[in-house]
Structure 1
Amino acid sequence: MDYALFWFCLIGLLWAGYLVLEGFDFGVGALLPVLGAGTDAADTEKRRRLMLTTIGPHWDGNEVWLLTAGGATFAAFPHWYATMFSAFYLPLLVLLVALIVRNMGFEYRGKRDDATWRRRWDLAIIGGSVLAPFLVGVALTNLVRGLPIDQDMEFTGSVFTLLNVPSLLGGLVVLGLSLTHGAFFLALKTRGEIRGEAARLGTWLGLGSALLAVALLLWLGLTQGTAWTWLTSAVAAVSLLAAIGANTRGAEGWAFAGTAVTIASAVATYFLALFPDVMPSTLLGGLSLSIENASSSELTLQIMSVAALVFTPVVLAYTAWTYWTFRKRLGTQHIPEAVSVR
């Protein structure tokens, strides 16, 4: 068994799981100022609390997928991890700060019954929910596009090297898909006015995301494309259009499933475009990091594989149980009055 290839595929699966699951709660957080706007201050607060309640049981568990992806990369591909964190040091620092501030917003906005207090934490949630998926999209697209890496596996560029048109487009696509995914999730999980508003907004967000995604996937196909990447790109495009169509017919569950397949297919396209490299070099005479030259020892990968085969089904079962337990719809009538905790 090729353990290095197994872990490359598993890391791709972890990134797909992260963006599918964290993607919708990014979308919900980013849509707070749009779908959380009520007729008055009291209605606005109830709507925002309803939106945050829909993701309350899930957002912290969803972030485990990112931690696991990072940990798996560190253990299975240490050279990939080292070069990637060297290249993306500043963006990853900003991403970490955005996630921390966003999570503090979830935890602290209800600690006081004060409008100014809540408004400031809402800004933290909104800012983190917009910035995080954008930065993830920029980073992943830069991986596929390639970076200036020398013979010593060292990144020789700067932060401005990362700010190129394809990668910025990748950031917008991940953000757009997260917004669409989040809108469909709210349409699936809520009742009343928010449900209809989320469905209508999701259609427009989906159409805008589709245009951006087509441009990005065409670029990927024309520059690093193979028969497999064209296939997964087609699956992503068809799934997104099917999700929009299901949403217009009121089939929110199918719409949400469609955007989940779209995001997973987009991640698969990225990793298929990378293969057999993990970080291609754009330098003439540079050394691209591949699955083989960036991986850990065979014994390390074997031990990791046994652990993954034992614990991954447990994590998946627990995650599925959590989503099943909190599957019912909520409305503003289910939201109690605010209570100050001092």
Structure 2
Amino acid sequence: MQRYILSRLIQSVCILFGVLFIVFFMLQMTGDPVSLLISRHASPEEVEAMKEELGFNRPLPVQFFEFVSGAVVGDFGKSLRHHQPAMDLILDRLPATIELAVTALLISLILGIPLGLISGSNPGSFWDVLSRGTGLLGQTIPNFWLALILILVFSVHLGWFPSFGRDTWTILGFTLPTRSVILPAFSLSLFTMGQLVRFTRSAVLEIRGEDYVRTAYSKGIADRKVYIGHILRNASIPLISIVGVQFGYLLSGSIYIETIFSWPGLGNLLAESIGNRDFALVQAIAFFSSFVVVALNLLTDIAYGLADPRIRY
């Protein structure tokens, strides 16, 4: 098991260094951020002075080395627009993104797994058709289009939910979400829910035909115990990897949803920083998001190896 974990850890570190390289040099090709920060009537001397102050006139290898050196210790410099440390801005917006991602994941789990279990247990039934249709819609409908439809129906016409912003309740020092998270979380959860329905259904259909399940039925074991002790337990093994990967997607892939709902999270901050060519902030958010995804994938691989001994061998 130690060798399995070590190999995954080495792979994760290599991926993170590759992310640093790609993020840095791709941003360098987007243009000169000084042109957005200084007046268009500024003299060439003033432009060069600002480049000297921000360090953009140094050779790219030197800038890249300083970027990597700072990234290792969590220092990505100051935002060019906000004039604050980039990591402080990320940590300030992180709770809102975590709230949105966790709520979306819970919606996906609560709806997706039961639908997949019912569908796989009753192939060809009405519930099977409904579940397969839900899975198909979840993986084909663009979440930004769904977000606009939800705003039109539930915010504009019915007035049940707010259409933008984030409201919270504070009870005994704990910050709790309110109705404002429902629409963006549901929009974000639809794709993950569709995947969970499909994979759960496929896993249940496959496991139902295994010899140990038929043996359990032949012994007269009740259906509920067979599903809980054999089918659901074994179906959960492939679902571990899906949930881990999709939670990373929910954390890092919510830029459109957060922008549409004006949700004050990392996705909204990333959209603003890209428009402003805020190099330090874009680099920090891109690396932080990649780090979260890689860390979740690493934990998923470890959990998968613990759940299924065949994987680690």
Which structure: larger Rg?
A: 2
The answer to whether TM tops 0.5 is no
TM-score by length of 1: 0.26
Instruction: State the TM-score, normalizing by the size of structure 2.
Output: 0.27
